[in-house]
Amino acid sequence: MSIGRPRSAVDALPAYRPGKGAAQAEEEHGIQDAIKLASNENPLPPIASIQAAVNAAASGVNRYADHRATEVRARIANWLEVREDQVTAGCGSVGLLQQLALTYVDPGDEVVYPWRSFEVYPIYTQLMGGVAVTVPLNASLGFDLDAVAAAVTDKTKLVLLATPNNPTGTAVTTDALADMMANISEDVIVVVDEAYREFLDPSFGDPVQDLVPRFPNVIVTRTMSKAHGLAGVRFGYAIGHPDVITSIDKTLAPFAVNAMAQAAALAAIDAEDEIKARVADILSERNRVVQELTAAGWDLPDAQANFVYLPLGDRTDDIYLGLEKLGVVTRPFSGEGIRVTIGTPTQNDRFLTALQSAGGSGASV
Ligand SMILES: *Cc1c(COP(=O)(O)O)cnc(C)c1O
């Protein structure tokens, strides 16, 4: 029982479970020097110029920020070569996903997404009283876009596609998405959630260039939480048709994109070269980790983000606990697999060594 009669949709919701922190693992297991590879964060502190911009903005936080983040929208429009009215900003891209749910999902409306995918999709769907329609992943732990299109009905309001997908890391090309769009009505909003875009091989295409101009019902969400190392300040953005942008803007909580987030976003766009260099380092580490695991007998799904996914099935909980006791905190999906964020080279070595000790050798998709 809860005080105050929460809506049944809220009562039924599980609490959001963030990745476990290193300090908590140290306390639970009586260990030291635990590392967190559980939330797909950037392992390095933010770039100096971004930190300086956040510090400078902190001196003005007695004032409300610009609710619309006008300057940042203009900069993003310029950066991505779209019009200003095609851009919005949100409190992280999960804030934008929540705005999309608030905007489009009435009780009983359907929300289609492949599963397993990002955990906030079922939460926001349920919160609105929507009906989740999930489409199984294919044998390579990627998306079956024909099945996604086939799952869309008259009741569907949203399709949610994380590419690269969290937690499996697989991606779909914009060509494949365009083929799928040909079979989906313009009444259905298709969200291309590109939280990991910066880590994706460019051969997959750019949905902002390849899809948004062709399909008014496609909206692309992106974030500065992962590649840009700004998970703690909360800045996400979206690019789509001006009508969609206008609708979802109505649902932004007042001043949810705070002054420090806006300053960080502007500084991050200015620091694009430094960020690209850091992304290149993470990619080379990701490729090294994939190579070493493959050499050890693993058959992994295609890794296109800043993490790898170990399809451990029934062994998931055991291996997860084994890793954690050795101070390597990862993200388990019980009965399915473990997602491991790419960290610094030293952290990645710790993971690879711990995985061997924990008995997690060679498994197939
Ligand atoms: C991490 C993540 C996000 C968003 O993170 P924010 O910090 O809210 O920007 C969105 N989608 C997916 C698939 C993610 O993994």
User: DSSP string of 53-67?
Assistant: HHHHHHTTTTS---T
In this structure, what token pair is assigned to residue 353? 């060594």
Predicted pLDDT of residue 15: 77
Distance 140 CA to ligand 1 centre (A): 22
Residues 300, 203 within the same domain: no
Long-range Cβ contact pairs of 251-255 (< 8 A, separation 24 or more) = 251/98, 251/99, 251/102, 251/103, 252/67, 252/88, 252/90, 252/91, 252/95, 252/99, 253/91, 253/95, 254/67, 255/64, 255/65, 255/67
Residue 148 CA neighbour count, 13 Å, CB half: 29
Residues 159, 34 within the same domain: no
Please check whether residue 303 is in contact with residue 282, taking contact to mean a CB–CB distance below 8 angstroms: no
* The total number of structural domains that make up the chain: 2
Which of 155, 59, 167, 57 lies closest to 104 in space, CA to CA? 155
In order along its 365 residues, the chain shows pLDDT tens digits of: 678 999 999 999 977 777 789 999 999 999 999 999 999 999 999 999 999 999 999 999 999 999 999 999 999 999 999 999 999 999 999 999 999 999 999 999 999 999 999 999 999 999 999 999 999 999 999 999 999 999 999 999 999 999 999 999 999 999 999 999 999 999 999 999 999 999 999 999 999 999 999 999 999 999 999 999 999 999 999 999 999 999 999 999 999 999 999 999 999 999 999 999 999 999 999 999 999 999 999 999 999 999 999 999 999 999 999 999 999 999 999 999 999 999 999 999 999 999 999 986 665 54
Predicted pLDDT of residue 1: 60
Please check whether residue 309 is in contact with residue 338, taking contact to mean a CB–CB distance below 8 angstroms: yes
- Between β-strands 307-310 and 337-341, what pairing exists: parallel, antiparallel or unpaired? antiparallel
Distance 195 CA to ligand 1 centre (A): 5
Model pTM score: 0.97
- Our answer on whether the CB atom of 231 is closer than 6 Å to any ligand 1 atom is yes
Specify the length of the chain in residues.
365
Helix axes 242-249, 92-104, angle to 10 degrees: 90
Tabulate helix, strand, coil % of the chain (nearest 5). 40, 15, 45
Residues 164, 291 within the same domain: no
Among residues 270, 299, 334, which one ends one of the domains? 270
Residues 202, 329 within the same domain: no
Query: Does the residue 75 lie in any domain?
Result: yes
Query: Does the residue 1 lie in any domain?
Result: no
Residues 31, 108 within the same domain: no
Dist CA 185 CA 199 (whole Å): 30
- Our answer on whether the CB atom of 168 is closer than 6 Å to any ligand 1 atom is no
Residues 139, 279 within the same domain: no
SS3 state at 299: strand
Task: Choose the residue to mutate in 172, 226, 306 for probing ligand 1, maximizing ligand atoms within 8 Å of C-beta.
Answer: 226
Closest approach atom of ligand 1 to CA 223: 9
Residues 195, 279 within the same domain: no
Distance 303 CA to ligand 1 centre (A): 17
Among residues 235, 270, 305, which one ends one of the domains? 270
Dist CA 79 CA 141 (whole Å): 33
Distance 243 CA to ligand 1 centre (A): 24
Give me the domain span that covers residue 87: 48-270
Q: 17: domain CATH number?
A: 3.90.1150.10
Query: Does the residue 363 lie in any domain?
Result: no
Residues 263, 292 within the same domain: no
Residues 223, 181 within the same domain: yes
- Our answer on whether the CB atom of 166 is closer than 6 Å to any ligand 1 atom is yes
Please check whether residue 265 is in contact with residue 275, taking contact to mean a CB–CB distance below 8 angstroms: no
CB atoms under 10 Å from CB of 207, counted, come to: 25
Considering only CA atoms, which residue is closest to atom 14 of ligand 1?
A: 195
Question: Phi/psi zone of residue 160: left (φ > 0), alpha (ψ -120 to 50 degrees), beta?
Answer: beta
Among residues 227, 243, 270, which one ends one of the domains? 270
- Our answer on whether the CB atom of 92 is closer than 6 Å to any ligand 1 atom is yes
Dist CA 90 CA 93 (whole Å): 6
Predicted pLDDT of residue 345: 98
DSSP state of 231: T
Q: 242: domain CATH number?
A: 3.40.640.10
Predicted pLDDT of residue 361: 63
Predicted pLDDT of residue 17: 75
Distance 119 CA to ligand 1 centre (A): 10
